[in-house]
Structure 1
Amino acid sequence: MIMNNFKSKISLALLLISGAFMSSCSESFLDVSSKTEPNSENYYKTESQALRALYGCYDGWRQVSSNPGAYSFLMASSIMSDECYGGAGVGDGYGAQLIDRFDKAAAPSEMNVFEQEWKVYYAGVFRCNTLIVSDPNIAWEDETNHTRIMGECRALRALLYFDMVRLWGNIPLFTEPSNDNKEQADPQDVYALIFDDLRYAIDHIEADDNLGENNYGRITKYAAEALFARAYLFYSGYYGAEPVYSDGTSINRQEALAAVEDVIAQGKYELVSDFKNLWPAASLVPVKGSTGWDQEKSTYAGDYNSEVILAQNFTPTQNYDGDNDANRWLVNLGMRNINASPYGKGWGIATLTPSYFRQFFDARDVRRTASAIDLAAEGVTSVSDYNSGYKDWREYTGLNFKKYTPLVFDNGLPATNPDGTADFMINNAQPWVIVRYADVLLMAAELGSPNANEYLNRIRSRAGLPHAEANKQNILDERARELAYEGIRYWDLLRQGVEVMADAVVRSGGTVQNGGKNAEIAYDKAKIIATKGLSQIPANQISLSHGVLKQNPGW
């Protein structure tokens, strides 16, 4: 995507397509066995083969966002929170509304809304498990390479399971490649594996391994430490107990704090000086009358910048023949069929709620204009495409994603490549930033760092806000402002308790326009609470399991 520094996306990303040889996902339950040669029975013998397999594991993780049939975790998390409504077009299905309302009555025909996610996540786990169990059979040439490769692989497995267990709660747990029809595991056991894997990555990936632009998108020791703290905060909050490793050893707050304090102490990351420079649409300036961007006037810090600790990386080379390596969620988040340079058209899913925007952003806060597109304030309502898009938009609020949005040149061509000739739907490649340094500072403050006030106020100072005391509520409110629309807010709400989450979602209801006509969005708090904040397991997966899988409560 042309909002990059342009020199090199991670070379890894160009190799990830090699992972396609490892597994595929058929219609039978969790059938993710290899269909092509070479396969896992005659492969994974040498270090170079192991590295190639690791690239396939990264690709398996990326497929959760690049698979054309899947909601991305980012998009689903935003819709479930108080940040967004379901949105989409007036003639579209109501899957986004089902996710938003926590109510199957919102879309009775959408009982398989997360079908692709279920398949793609387990296919990714299958790839990781295949490499992990092959470890003893690989002729490793260098022990540092050995531990780094296996550390990255186990961290990827942890990432996949962390998304799944938060989304569905009750899931089968596989620690080796298998297509067995397994019952759902106790969530504590899934989290034990997540913490085991992250601890392994922390202990085995060397401190400076995978740093640098050429490794952008690969997991470092510091990314694993940040994810460890994130998982601790969610588990201890949602379940009201300390998590444990698989050997039963308890994990306490001090261990989680030590992980993020190490990230801070090592000095490998720092806040980008101007918040808007983190986001392509907030910082890029089009050249009038041409199909290019004025790079001298652009202030974008680049995909690889000092604040990114972990990002899910993409390339703009996706096609309609099965190569899935771009992000497929970006076009979904774009304004419904409206081109208003630099903002490009999309499908209008996940419209922003006015209540959240008003609650957390005031005029002093520079994140207000960097995080969200206010269509009226920015003149979008006057462009020629506006009326047709507005009349085809469900749950329109006049607010849209800016952190993540397609871009379009001033002449209307999509900015998915330098000359505007690439597909606006499938060739977007803006990375999804999984962990930023700002998040690490706020997690450390929340976990009780003696430097909590300093960490909180670094964030507030950059945003143009006065200093505040680092108490729990102030920290959580700052997370709501700083990390808005990044797929984090819902989980921050849910870990405070299902009722806290439900109250916030209910408060976000209000007036929208469906095809230009007023409509009201309201939520049933009791139904939300009945789900415990978990999503429905795809009904067809329950059928394919012959009833071994059980549907989550409330669905």
Structure 2
Amino acid sequence: MNKYIKAIAFIAILGFTSCTDDFLTNYPTDSQEAGGPATEGAILSNLGSCYQVLLFDSYANQNYNSIVLMSDLRSDDIFKGGGDAGDQGQLYRLSQLDATPDELPEGLWIIYYNALARCNNAISACENAVDVDETRLAQYKAEAHFLRAYYMHWLWKFWGNIPYFEEDLEEPYFARQYSADEIYAEIIEDVNFALEGDKLPMSVSGADQGRATKAAAMLLKARVVMYQNDESRYAEVLADMNEIYESGAYSLVDFASIWTREGEFGAESILETNHLPGEYGGKTWGDGWTGFGTNLPAFISPNGLSGADELSGLSVYKGGWGFGPVRPEIVDIYEDGDKRLSASINHFADGTYTPRFQNTGYFMAKYAAREGYNEPPGDVDLNYENNLRIFRYAEVLLNAAELIVVHGVAPVGQLTAEVAITEIRERAGLATAAPTTELIKLERRREFLGEGMRFWDLVRWGEANTLTENLPEYSSNRTWAPTKKYLPIPQSEIDKTEGEFKLVQNDGY
């Protein structure tokens, strides 16, 4: 049964103001004037509005914005797919490393700046709390800082040099543009605030499932530190991974079970969204800012599907729009007997679906559309209940192995590279193997296929030049350059700014 942050989310849903496309506008809730005294109910309402942004991972502001898909399209794991090159043309340009200031997935910019404003409201409410238990208040503050760091880390990864603000902005709602390194420092400050003093529990259960935890904050810190290649903090991150490991709060589970309804909030889940079925309120094409469902399953599933998946033998899958086909050579990165293959990739026989642009016959399986997972009200293709797994325990193990072997950090505690790789491979049904640099990187690719990790890994490893390719049979011709690390800042946002706050376009655009 789906659970959510019941103490927070449903209070918040009633109090949201509507959203616009002014990305720096601050939106106080009706229950608290910005900067005024805040009851616990007002704090929860603000905090709930922060969590709600997690539900915009696929469609909001009338844009397709799946964060995992937007990340993977620039990788060497999938193609764009869909009807043709012009079907969601901004996504094709993204996949070709050829985004422009006028043609790019700018919905992410709008959504995550809205999230920043919401998190600032929640933090302000906490600072103006009235008659709130100090322990609970400390947790609320930590959650808000964690969420702000989480949302900002996506803006930082995609755009690098971006505006940032922590207080209400006065009209015309402009803020100073920070450098990527300055944004990194702000993210680290928020994450460390969330981690200091054990304000967050290591894990949660019951009605609290879906709320931020200490383990989630530790994994977010690991992602940003390792992406920044900040060697000065590698030892801290490895110590965090060992603390999660030694806590015993999480464990690996059967890989295929993770992605089903029954596998939601399982023993391996450190943080995940909660996409509820349509009976709780569905998204519609005209209003992507409400509802609890996700469009990702429809987006990535084959068009006109009528047959079973040949790799798993399952016939539980539904048809969709045919975006994100898996590149055919990816099947070969898995060893014989690797249980992750059939749980990560679907293969459908010719004649059981309608081939579309860049068709390979292979599709992403983890978030594939399944029978019975989307219900009205709302538009059914927008309202699948497949939860997005944001942080999994497997990442703890593979982070530790990489830090020790690839980056030479001295092991601490019980979590060694050998322990980490053995657990990962045994769960996959494979024999143990020495944790070499090559194997650790390969295991990350195998483990996280379709979860939005591969492109960022290649960039931080300095291996993104492998993305250069000319594949006429798949209409993919792209060239990597260091300036492609960041997308161009949307021209529409540059045009809104002026004077000392005029946004400066990223290099190379």
TM-score tier after normalising by the smaller chain length: 0.7 to 0.9
Shift of 1:204: 4.3
CA distance in 1, matches of 2:506, 2:30: 38
Matched, 1:506 2:499: no
Matched, 1:136 2:127: yes
1:416 alignment partner, one of 370, 374, 379: 374
- TM-score of the aligned structures, taking structure 1 as reference length: 0.81
Are the counterparts in 2 of residues 87 and 394 from structure 1 also a CA contact under 8 Å?
A: yes
3-state SS of 2:337 partner: coil
| Cα distance change of structure 1 residues 350 and 531 upon mapping to structure 2, 3 Å threshold | farther
- Deviations for 1:316-339, whole angstroms, at most 9, x for unmatched residues? 232326323212323211212435
Which residue is 2:458 aligned to? 493
Which residue is 2:328 aligned to? 354
1:312 alignment partner, one of 268, 273, 280: 273
Identify the range of structure 1 (330-339 vs 144-153) with the bigger mean alpha-carbon deviation: 330-339
CA distance in 2, matches of 1:140, 1:188: 38
| Cα distance change of structure 1 residues 554 and 415 upon mapping to structure 2, 3 Å threshold | same
1:30 alignment partner, one of 17, 21, 24: 24
Which residue is 1:289 aligned to? none
CA distance in 1, matches of 2:363, 2:434: 31
| Cα distance change of structure 1 residues 489 and 19 upon mapping to structure 2, 3 Å threshold | farther
Matched, 1:464 2:429: yes
| Cα distance change of structure 1 residues 421 and 165 upon mapping to structure 2, 3 Å threshold | closer
Which residue is 1:550 aligned to? 504
1:103-502 matches, within 5 Å, as 103-104=98-99, 111-178=102-169, 180-206=173-199, 208=201, 211-236=204-229, 241-242=230-231, 251-272=232-253, 274-280=254-260, 301-316=262-277, 317-320=281-284, 322=287, 323-340=290-307, 341-358=315-332, 360-376=333-349, 381-383=350-352, 386=353, 389-390=354-355, 393-408=356-371, 415-417=373-375, 423-448=379-404, 449=411, 451-497=416-462, 500-502=463-465
Shift of 1:23: 6.0
Paired letter, 1:81: S
CA distance in 1, matches of 2:115, 2:228: 23
Shift of 1:62: 2.9
Structure 2: gaps spanning 5 or more residues: 308-314, 405-410
Shift of 1:14: 5.0
CA distance in 1, matches of 2:453, 2:322: 20
CA distance in 2, matches of 1:54, 1:207: 15
Paired letter, 1:144: T
3-state SS of 1:226 partner: helix
CA distance in 1, matches of 2:181, 2:25: 25
Paired letter, 1:92: D
RMSD in angstroms over aligned alpha carbons?
A: 2.5
Shift of 1:267: 0.5
CA distance in 1, matches of 2:208, 2:220: 18
3-state SS of 1:102 partner: coil
Shift of 1:262: 0.7
Which residue is 1:47 aligned to? 40
CA distance in 2, matches of 1:8, 1:131: 22
3-state SS of 2:73 partner: helix
3-state SS of 1:234 partner: helix
CA distance in 2, matches of 1:275, 1:347: 26
- TM-score of the aligned structures, taking structure 2 as reference length: 0.88
Matched, 1:99 2:60: no
Task: Give the paired residue count.
Answer: 481
Are the counterparts in 2 of residues 61 and 121 from structure 1 also a CA contact under 8 Å?
A: no
CA distance in 2, matches of 1:133, 1:32: 12
| Cα distance change of structure 1 residues 536 and 382 upon mapping to structure 2, 3 Å threshold | same
- Deviations for 1:307-366, whole angstroms, at most 9, x for unmatched residues? 0001122222323263232123232112124354421122222111112332x2133211
Are the counterparts in 2 of residues 147 and 204 from structure 1 also a CA contact under 8 Å?
A: no
Are the counterparts in 2 of residues 25 and 32 from structure 1 also a CA contact under 8 Å?
A: no
CA distance in 2, matches of 1:17, 1:553: 40
Shift of 1:71: 1.7
Identify the range of structure 1 (336-345 vs 346-355) with the bigger mean alpha-carbon deviation: 336-345
1:73 alignment partner, one of 67, 75, 81: 67
Are the counterparts in 2 of residues 44 and 131 from structure 1 also a CA contact under 8 Å?
A: no
Matched, 1:84 2:70: no
CA distance in 2, matches of 1:552, 1:132: 30
Shift of 1:115: 2.4
Are the counterparts in 1 of residues 90 and 105 from structure 2 also a CA contact under 8 Å?
A: no
| Cα distance change of structure 1 residues 116 and 355 upon mapping to structure 2, 3 Å threshold | same
- Deviations for 1:5-46, whole angstroms, at most 9, x for unmatched residues? x264442575175275256224x4533445x73453376511
Are the counterparts in 1 of residues 8 and 45 from structure 2 also a CA contact under 8 Å?
A: no
Paired letter, 1:460: R
3-state SS of 2:283 partner: coil
Paired letter, 2:80: G
